[in-house]
Structure 1
Amino acid sequence: MPRWKITLEYDGTAFSGWQRQDGPASVQQAVEEAILGFCGEEVRLHVAGRTDAGVHALAQVAHFDLSKDTKAETVRDALNFHLRDQPACILEAEGVSEEFHARFSAKSRHYLYRLINRRAPLVLEKNRAHQVTKPLDIFTMQKAAGLMIGIHDFSTFRAQNCQSNSPMKTLDAARIERISE
């Protein structure tokens, strides 16, 4: 049974988050429906990490199994055809071994948080950044970010039913950059 790794990009504004649920549309639901439309198979999509409502992804990794093999370009293009009305697309599809698991094979994760520091309301960046209207002390923020580098215990941030083996996580980089004035 061929296993497929896909890399997705999506605008999470209209989604209730990654995970399929009753009610509002989720990213998982949209992609699973695209797979069903492409090959007629109901699959379970596994993801590297779930996102919350309104969160976007630049390169989210997921995997699924199909009953028959096909070309990677066909998988990518067919899924994009079926996602054409959704704010999501498949950037890449590749066949992987059955040992690959989107969540457990991930070596690292990258997050980007954007702040826009201005008084005028956000228009073009409304759902893409958080607005801070008061002046920011970038130097102090950079010093504080440096204190986050290293291994830390994130027990307080875990859900009771968290499946992670350990609350200890390593933060390799934390950068605060001023892009423009």
Structure 2
Amino acid sequence: MPNYKLKIQYDGTRYSGWQIQPNVKTIEGIITEAIDKIFHRKVKLIGASRTDAGVHARGQVANFHFPDEIDITTIKRGLNAVIPDDIAIQQVEIADEKFHSRYSAKSKIYQYFIWNRDYKTPFYSRYSWQIHNRLDIDAMRAASYFIKGEKDFSSFQGAGCDSKVPIRRIDFFDIKREEGFIKFTIEGSGFLKHMVRNIVGTLVEIGMGKMNPVEMIHILEARDRKKAGPTAPARGLVLVKVIY
């Protein structure tokens, strides 16, 4: 049975996340309905990342099996013709039958954007957390050193997370100041619910001088969500790439 792999972009502002839920609009729901509308068959669409409500994606990956072989250009053009303008199918290809967008992934890259000027900007309000007090980027970088590698991230795990094992591996973490933005780039083997946003929220507390960078060590050791900082808003987070 052919296995179709999709690369997807979306602005998550209007949606209640990736995963299908009753009575709300989700990315998975919109695309699944579009496939059913065009090809008259319900499919199980599997996403690489179950992004939360309001989170965006430049490189989400999904796959579905279909009993018939369909021209990949027909799939791409057909879906883009019927889905809303804030969702786009970038690429369609036929994958190995055993390919699974989530379980076949080796790592995922996310970026988080903070607008850090003393004035607000309407142009990036949907895609960044706007903080007007200047953040200490050196302090945040110093703290980020302690989260690299394989750790127990219980202190950064959001409520309702269905993962039974809180151990995750962070391969890369970078913080840059670029034209008014502070950009966080994080690559890891996988992420717990709200994990990236909770890490960013904690780093912001450090950047504001409310915590010392070395407190990150004690936060990790505590394995207690209450010890970490607040959850950063969803609008600043983007799934950039899934690596296979």
Distance 1:132 1:100 in 2: 41
Distance 1:159 1:136 in 2: 28
Distance 2:73 2:30 in 1: 19
* Alignment partner, residue 39 of structure 1: 39
C-alpha change, 1:169 and 1:11, in structure 2 (3 Å) is same
* Alignment partner, residue 22 of structure 1: 22
Counterpart of 1:78, as a letter, is G
Consecutive unaligned residues in structure 1, runs of 5 or more: none
Distance 2:176 2:116 in 1: 12
Detail structure 1 runs of 4+ shifted over 2 Å in the superposition: 158-164
Q: CA deviation at 1:148?
A: 1.7
Contact 1:142–1:176 (CA<8 Å) still a contact in 2? Answer: yes
C-alpha change, 1:112 and 1:161, in structure 2 (3 Å) is closer
Distance 1:162 1:122 in 2: 36
Contact 2:8–2:61 (CA<8 Å) still a contact in 1? Answer: yes
Distance 2:161 2:14 in 1: 27
* Alignment partner, residue 155 of structure 1: 154
Contact 1:30–1:86 (CA<8 Å) still a contact in 2? Answer: no
Q: How does 1:122-161 map to 2 (within 5 A)?
A: 122-156=121-155, 157=157
Deviation track 1:97-137 (CA, whole Å, cap 9, x = no partner) reads: 22111110011011100001123223010110001111111
TM-score normalised per structure 2: 0.69
Q: How does 1:1-181 map to 2 (within 5 A)?
A: 1-83=1-83, 85-156=84-155, 157=157, 162-163=162-163, 166-181=165-180
Contact 1:72–1:94 (CA<8 Å) still a contact in 2? Answer: yes
Contact 2:2–2:94 (CA<8 Å) still a contact in 1? Answer: yes
Give the structure with the higher percent strand: 2
TM-score normalised per structure 1: 0.92
Counterpart of 2:97, as a letter, is E
C-alpha change, 1:159 and 1:104, in structure 2 (3 Å) is farther
Secondary structure of 1:105 counterpart: coil
Contact 2:120–2:132 (CA<8 Å) still a contact in 1? Answer: no
Counterpart of 2:107, as a letter, is S
Q: CA deviation at 1:19?
A: 1.1
C-alpha change, 1:23 and 1:122, in structure 2 (3 Å) is farther
Query: How much is the aligned-residue C-alpha RMSD, in angstroms?
Result: 1.7
Give the structure with the higher percent helix: 2
Counterpart of 2:2, as a letter, is P
